[in-house]
């Protein structure tokens, strides 16, 4: 193993390789870190305290783009900031707003001034901010010029206030970080200051009986007050399971998975169900099946679901997911909208055990100084009935096997490692690998054999 300052570290604290018994030369490749650095640029007459600068990294959820926080720092007294230790990828840079507190000019009874968020370099919201692409060893210079604007007082009354209220604020229709307000629990008020514009204010409460409320607020020419927000209960969504198993051994595997002598399908340990928000950037959390409340609890439900739009992500260790529906909507291909205060129809999940079986071989290199286990990706094509799956190949002879593959059409690719960054929902991205892909269509119960070329990390 080897590690060095200024280079990226893997989870084990360094980069390493396995050494064969007869290997005389060992080469360990270290990946240099990328850096995003910059400076806040202001007219010399302006006073600016240290500003919070946030970095977001592009991640993938079920093959779709999402932005996650990658770090926060404060600018130095001279306005400089720096993010180091970055891996190759796509990033966005945002400053948090800051009220002007220059002791020479600040008047608490007069007009407020402040510096609204800057979405690098000067976009109006997070969605249209520039995507900063960095590669190993690069240093990206990102200078930012905050602009002072008038700020006006904002007061929104919560009709049914609750304890533990959390707030998010963003320009209407454009969720993203940067703005903030506070909650006055004693008076049940959302209050603070914002520059002119129209904003969405979302309030959420924690704990049992959690609630959510939204209010659109327009700030124009002076203080804004009189708006009222109503918090509505976050709904619970019922889940129903339908088992259409044909093989006699399936029930035995279910009993083993549940640790019981009977088929406890009311709370199956072999099935997980989760709601994943589809927004590229959003404050909406995911939600999953709640555990049973007691030995007699036979209900399945996903509780405390905040308003939003979700994809239903379900997986099973027995058979495969044949269908997921809600009120006739196909949730394998369409999202599930959830509104404030009302639950959608129950999520109905059908399980089958007549999936296809695929085995095969990955063409392995004759010699390799770096040992990695190939990952075979089965990617649905053409919006059909297939579902993403992955199988591990043997690092020696390249053999792999996958059982209970849902019927459908797939593009099959063998990479030298798992590719969590692969945007497999994009046909444009996947078309780059067409020369190394095999396209198959499998029916229920079908057996298929494949031979696949290995796609290395540099390809």
Residue pair 118/41 in contact by the 8 Å Cβ criterion:
no
Q: Taking all residues of the chain, what is their mean pLDDT, rounded to a whole number?
A: 85
Write down the pLDDT at residue 264.
45
Percent of the chain residues past pLDDT 70, beyond the cut: 88
Token duo for residue 219: 């700030």
**pLDDT at residue 260 is higher than 50:** no
Bridge-based pairing of strands 132-134 and 375-380 is unpaired
With cut-offs at 50, 70 and 90, classify the pLDDT of residue 10: low
| Tens digits of residue pLDDT in 340-384 | 888 999 999 999 999 999 999 999 876 554 456 889 999 998 767
Q: Is the peptide bond before 121 cis (omega within 30 degrees of 0)?
A: yes
Contacts of residues 78-81 at CB distance under 8 Å and 24 or more positions apart, as own/partner, are 78/39, 79/39, 79/40, 79/41, 79/42, 79/48, 80/37, 80/38, 80/39, 80/40, 81/37, 81/38, 81/39, 81/40, 81/53
* Nearest by Cα to 23 from 428, 452, 370: 370
Write down the pLDDT at residue 256.
63
| Tens digits of residue pLDDT in 181-211 | 999 988 889 999 999 999 999 999 877 788 9
Write down the pLDDT at residue 92.
96
What is the rounded average pLDDT of the residues 197-226? 86
- DSSP at 436: G
With cut-offs at 50, 70 and 90, classify the pLDDT of residue 394: confident
Give the C-alpha distances (Å, rounded to integers) separating 284 from 203, 280, 304, 354: 11, 11, 11, 36
Residue pair 186/172 in contact by the 8 Å Cβ criterion:
no
With cut-offs at 50, 70 and 90, classify the pLDDT of residue 262: very low
Write down the pLDDT at residue 104.
58
CATH numbers and ranges of domains, the chain: 34-102+115-141 (2.60.40), 149-233 (2.60.40.10), 237-352 (no CATH), 356-455 (2.60.40.1120)
With cut-offs at 50, 70 and 90, classify the pLDDT of residue 318: confident
């Amino acid at each position: 193993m080897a590690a060095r300052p200024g280079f990226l570290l893997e989870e084990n604290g360094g980069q390493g390789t396995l050494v064969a018994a007869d290997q005389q030369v060992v080469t360990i490749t270290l990946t240099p870190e990328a850096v995003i650095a910059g400076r806040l640029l202001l007219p010399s007459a302006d006073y600016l305290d240290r500003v919070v600068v946030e970095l977001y990294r592009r991640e993938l959820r079920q093959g779709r783009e999402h932005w996650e926080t990658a770090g926060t720092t404060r600018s130095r007294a001279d306005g400089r900031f720096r993010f180091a230790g970055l891996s190759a990828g796509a990033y966005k840079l945002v400053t948090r707003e800051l009220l002007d507190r220059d002791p020479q000019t600040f008047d608490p009874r007069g007009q407020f001034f402040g510096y609204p968020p800057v979405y690098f370099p000067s976009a109006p919201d997070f969605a249209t901010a520039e995507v900063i692409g960095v590669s190993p060893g690069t240093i990206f210079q990102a200078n930012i010029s905050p602009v002072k604007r008038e700020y006006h007082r904002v007061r929104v009354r919560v009709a049914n206030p609750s304890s533990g209220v959390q707030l998010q604020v963003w320009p209407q229709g454009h969720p993203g970080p940067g703005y903030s307000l506070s909650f006055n629990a004693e008076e049940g008020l959302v209050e603070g200051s914002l520059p002119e514009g129209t904003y969405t204010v979302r309030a959420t409460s924690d704990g049992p009986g959690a609630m959510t409320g939204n209010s659109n607020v327009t700030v124009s020419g002076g203080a804004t007050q009189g708006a009222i927000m109503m918090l509505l209960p976050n709904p619970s969504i019922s889940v129903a399971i339908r088992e259409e198993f044909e093989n006699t051994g399936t029930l035995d595997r279910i009993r083993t998975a549940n640790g019981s002598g009977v088929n406890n399908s009311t709370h199956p340990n072999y099935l997980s169900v989760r709601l994943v928000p589809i927004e590229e950037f959003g404050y909406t959390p995911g939600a999953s099946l709640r555990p049973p409340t007691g030995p007699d609890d036979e209900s399945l439900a996903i509780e405390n679901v905040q308003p939003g739009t979700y994809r239903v992500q379900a997986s099973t260790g027995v058979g495969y997911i044949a269908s997921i529906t809600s009120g006739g909507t196909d949730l394998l291909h369409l999202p599930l909208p959830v509104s404030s205060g009302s639950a959608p129809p129950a999520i109905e999940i059908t399980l089958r055990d007549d999936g296809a079986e695929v085995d095969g071989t990955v063409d392995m290199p004759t010699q390799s100084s770096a040992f990695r286990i190939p990952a075979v990706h089965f990617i649905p094509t053409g919006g059909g009935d297939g579902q993403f799956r992955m199988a591990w190949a043997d690092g020696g002879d390249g053999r792999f096997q996958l059982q209970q593959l849902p019927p459908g059409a797939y593009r099959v690719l063998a990479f030298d490692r798992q590719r969590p960054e692969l945007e497999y929902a994009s046909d444009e991205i996947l078309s780059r690998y067409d020369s190394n892909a095999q396209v198959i269509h499998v029916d229920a119960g079908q057996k298929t054999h494949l031979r696949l070329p290995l796609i290395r990390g540099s390809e």
